[in-house]
Chains A and B, each alone.
Chain A
Amino acid sequence: MGQSSLNRMKIQIPNKVLTFVAGIIIWESAAGVVNSRSFPHIGGVLFDLVELLKTFEFWKSLVVTFNLTLIGFAIGAGFAFALGLATALNKKLDLLFSSSITFLRSVPSVVFLPLLIASIGASSRTAIILTALVVSLKLVIFVSRGVLETEKEHIEFAKLYHLSFFATICNIYIPSLFSVVSTGFRLSASRAFGTVIASGIIIGTPGLGRDLLFAESNAEYERVFSYVIVLGIVGTSIYSTFNIIESKFIHWRVNV
């Protein structure tokens, strides 16, 4: 280990400790100001969090939440790729869909929830459909921009080698658009997770969102905070994972 990395470690450790201490001071000050059972002290919440992590129901809910997020994300991403490629490669299709996409993007996704409950009921399917809708509307713009930013030389190259339409998409457009879409993946994965949680809170679809709402309605205040901490950890992990993948991908792209 070099001298510079040792110095960096010396600086990093106190900063992390300072962040931790600052977090506790902010929490305890807020608890002191609110001075109510509904804003518990950090010790009680951490104790409850440990208890929560020991329960089977928690892990089951976590797995359900992940499953719904992944399925909704995959469907939404597939749809966004198809629509984004079609609208970017065909001006008429772009004009055809742009006004509808603009309108749907302006409507907060949760207002579709009552509509979905009315038509298909409050089930896991509702959460998946809403998540897919949110992801596709978020990602379609990135896919479209990625295709439009493809370098002209690469497209000429495809023409020169008489690549078929599908070969051009697979070998020219998709590799080129991934650097733009990776940012879209990161943002829409966080949004997908948020949408599954929102479905749980608003209409009671299975998962951590529903558990959080149950804790709130049963006035289990420590549990409410425990769930919110867990959601923060999961949210940060999703964002960081995509960030790492994105930086690795850009690294690969620069090397090429």
Chain B
Amino acid sequence: MIKRLSQIVWSLFLPSLVLISWQLISNYSPNPFFPPPSRIVTALREVVSVDWILTSVKSSFIVLFAGYFIGAILGLLFGSLLGEFIKMRIIFLPICNFVRSIPSIAKVPLILSIMGLGLSTRISTVAIAVLFPVLMSTVRAIAATKSELLDLNRTLRFGRIRGLVTIRIPAAIGEILTGLHASVQVAVLAMIVSEMLGSGVGIGAFIIQSQSTFRIANMWVGVFIVGLIGIALNYMFLKIERKSAPWYFKSKGLM
């Protein structure tokens, strides 16, 4: 109990020290770009309202979740097919690798020039950013199915598609979940960038508009909220993946 308490105190020490020093330094020598934490808390109270949540936050969450689910489902589907069919993998994997190597943010101007501004553009940006990491981790996981399981599939005469669904995908679920988890951060990044580049709505647009109109405390509020969303999604996914495939994470010493 005392050990746990000491751990909590130590882990909160640095953030508290930073916040207190920041507040004290701001009181003695104000910097317009680093408003004191107390001013940011006041701005947080002023900004966060039902209206703001229904416009900015709701719009961002629609983009994030719709884009993530579309990208993840397509990634899982194509990843499973490329993992199962070797000939397809040899032909298409270099193309997927090439597209994945393009920084996800560099794809945004391309999508903007093809689709223009709008909700569908932002959703597509997130979906494309998520698609390739999920696809690659799924291909890797399915292609690495143990030979004993492939023998079992042949013995049971399940055929390729049934074997894929009932044997290979369940066996690869741990690695697939890891890929889906890693893509959450990519999805948040793509959402913010697509909103920053001229959409006018969402938390990303709120941050960039606050900066350009010199409402610096509001900009800090936006940064803080994005951080909280990132932490919440990360924690949520950690719980889901540990519950969905406990055997995999135990074998990796992560549980």
Residues of A within 8 A of B (CB): 15, 18-19, 22-23, 26, 34, 36, 38-39, 92, 95-100, 102-103, 106-112, 114-115, 117-119, 190, 193-194, 197-198, 201-202, 209, 212-213, 215-216, 219, 221, 224-225, 227-228, 231-232, 235-236, 239
Contact = CB atoms under 8 A, between A and B. Distances in A.
A231 B106 contact: yes
A235 B103 contact: yes
B219 A115 contact: yes
B110 A96 contact: no
Interface of B: 7, 10-15, 18, 31, 33-34, 90-92, 94-95, 97-99, 101-110, 112-114, 185, 188-189, 192-193, 196-197, 204, 207-208, 210-211, 216, 219-220, 222-223, 226-227, 230-231, 234
B99 A232 contact: yes
Nearest to A191: B103
Given A106-B230, A108-B189, A194 B104 contact: yes
B114 A38 contact: yes
A98 B226 CA distance: 19
Contacts of B226: 107-108, 111
B109 A212 contact: yes
Contact of B7 (A95, A119, A219, A235): A95
Contact of B102 (A99, A114, A231): A231
A34 B10 contact: no
A92 B3 CA distance: 12
B122 to A, nearest CB: 15
A232 to B, nearest CB: 4
Nearest to A118: B33
A26 B92 CA distance: 10
Nearest to B187: A108
B107 A228 contact: yes
A236 B109 contact: no
B223 A118 contact: no
Nearest to A120: B33
A96 B11 contact: yes
Contacts of B10: 92, 95-96
A111 B230 CA distance: 12
A224 B114 CA distance: 10
A103 B101 contact: no
Contact of B33 (A119, A190, A194, A219): A119
B95 A103 contact: no
19 contacts: A38-B114, A92-B10, A96-B11, A103-B15, A106-B231, A114-B207, A114-B211, A114-B219, A118-B211, A194-B105, A198-B106, A213-B109, A215-B109, A216-B112, A228-B106, A232-B101, A232-B102, A235-B101, A236-B97
A99 to B, nearest CB: 4
A100 B15 contact: yes
B151 to A, nearest CB: 26
Nearest to B191: A108
Contacts of B185: 106, 108
A210 to B, nearest CB: 11
Given A15-B91, A19-B94, A110-B105, A99 B110 contact: no
Nearest to A114: B211
A36 B231 contact: no
A171 to B, nearest CB: 27
Nearest to B222: A111
Contact of B95 (A26, A102, A194, A216): A26
